[in-house]
């Protein structure tokens, strides 16, 4: 079955420190890959996506993610975290063959930033 | 950019009553709308997919008679939770596909916090 796993439910980092949020997927073929951020009580904002090509993807707000086919992973990184990055982060996948464009979301990782 | 306005942002209702949540695309036509449910500290679970002018397609396990979805126009989709009960309390989010941005070009509403007492 298709699934997305975010192994870390909660991560705390100090402001200015680097960040890596993990995402692993289980899929029949390489899916489309996404990272979204959700601030408390808000909808989701797309940070970045991977469809094909360069496996290192740059996104908004200084985030990047790297697709590693051998590890079925799409980890999100940021070299220096700001307090405003505190939020919930969701990894999601979509089937290349899908006509509906459905997304499957991971469980989410809550990021807390210490001053 | 494409904006989806979702209202209300929060609502408290009595058990047994119905609640309607609206999602409006403000500056684009939303041919497809997705409705999600999110429990605290959990992921988004797709409830249904609606296409303008057609009946919604519900995910397995979602009661279509309880969660009524209407997508009568290209700019408005509604979710009505009928005969709400405390277990329906949740965060509901809509997502609209933006034309010209591909199958996965979405914009999300800001969500509705429903509390049933």
Cα distance between residue A51 and residue B38, in whole Å:
26
Determine the average pLDDT of the residues in A13-41: 92
pLDDT band at residue A65 under the 50/70/90 scheme: very high
CB contact under 8 A, B43 and A41: no
Which of residues A30 and A110 earns the better pLDDT score? A110
Query: From the list B4, B44, B106, which residue is nearest A105 (CB)?
Result: B44
- Decide if A11 touches B, using CB distance below 8 A: no
3-state secondary structure of B86: helix
* Residues constituting chain A: 115
Q: For residue range A75-112, list pLDDT tens digits in order.
A: 999 999 999 999 999 999 988 777 778 899 999 999 99
- From chain A, pick out residues whose CB is under 8 angstroms from the CB of B109: 43
Cα distance between residue B72 and residue B76, in whole Å:
7
Spell out, as residue ranges, where chain B has pLDDT lower than 50.
none
CB contact under 8 A, A102 and B9: no
- How distant is the Cα of A96 from the closest Cα of chain B, in angstroms? 9
Query: From the list A46, A106, A110, which residue is nearest B43 (CB)?
Result: A106
- From chain B, pick out residues whose CB is under 8 angstroms from the CB of A45: 108
3-state secondary structure of B88: helix
Share of chain A above pLDDT 70, in %: 100
Q: Are B51 and B30 in contact (CB under 8 A)?
A: no
- How distant is the Cα of B82 from the closest Cα of chain A, in angstroms? 23
Give me the pLDDT at residue B22, please: 97
Q: Which of A63, A14, A99 has the alpha carbon at shortest distance from B103?
A: A99
SS (H, E, C) A14-25: ECCCCEEECCEE
Give me the pLDDT at residue A1, please: 72
Question: How many A×B Cβ pairs under 8 Å?
Answer: 58
- From chain A, pick out residues whose CB is under 8 angstroms from the CB of B42: 107-108
Mean pLDDT of chain A: 93
Query: From the list B49, B103, B110, which residue is nearest A43 (CB)?
Result: B110
Cα distance between residue A115 and residue A96, in whole Å:
41
- Decide if A44 touches B, using CB distance below 8 A: yes
Cα distance between residue A11 and residue A52, in whole Å:
29
- Decide if A52 touches B, using CB distance below 8 A: no
- How distant is the Cα of B17 from the closest Cα of chain A, in angstroms? 24
Q: Which residue has the tokens 């870390």?
A: A8
Give me the pLDDT at residue A102, please: 86
Give me the pLDDT at residue B99, please: 77
Lowest mean pLDDT among A1-5, A61-65, A76-80: A1-5
SS (H, E, C) chain A: CCEEECCCCEEEEECCCCEEECCEEECCCCCEEEEEEECCCCCEEEEEEECCCCCEEECHHHCEEEEEHHHCEEEEEECCCCHHHCEEEEEEEECCCCCCCCCEECCCEEEEEEC
Cα distance between residue A79 and residue B116, in whole Å:
42
Give me the pLDDT at residue B64, please: 93
Cα distance between residue A29 and residue A65, in whole Å:
19
């Amino acid at each position: 079955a298709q699934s997305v796993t975010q192994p870390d439910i909660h991560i705390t980092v100090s402001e200015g420190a680097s960040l890596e949020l993990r995402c692993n997927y289980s899929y029949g073929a390489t899916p489309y890959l996404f990272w979204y951020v959700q601030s408390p009580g808000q909808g989701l904002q797309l940070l970045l996506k991977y469809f094909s090509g360069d496996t290192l993807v740059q996104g908004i707000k200084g985030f990047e993610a790297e697709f590693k086919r051998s590890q079925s992973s799409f980890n999100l990184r940021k070299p220096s975290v700001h307090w405003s990055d505190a939020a919930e982060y969701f990894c999601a996948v979509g089937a290349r063959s899908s006509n509906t464009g459905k997304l499957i979301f991971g469980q989410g990782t809550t990021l807390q930033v210490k001053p | 950019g494409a904006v989806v306005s979702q209202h209300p942002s929060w609502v408290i209702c009595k058990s047994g009553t119905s609640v309607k949540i609206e999602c409006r695309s403000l500056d684009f036509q939303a041919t497809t709308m997705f409705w999600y449910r999110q429990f605290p500290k959990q992921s988004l679970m797709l409830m249904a997919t609606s296409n303008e002018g057609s009946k919604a397609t519900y995910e397995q396990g979602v009661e279509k008679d309880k969660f009524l979805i209407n997508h009568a126009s290209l700019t408005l989709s509604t979710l009505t939770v009928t005969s709400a009960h405390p277990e329906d309390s949740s965060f509901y989010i809509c997502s609209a596909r933006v034309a010209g941005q591909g199958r996965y070009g979405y914009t999300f509403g800001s969500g509705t916090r429903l509390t049933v007492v």
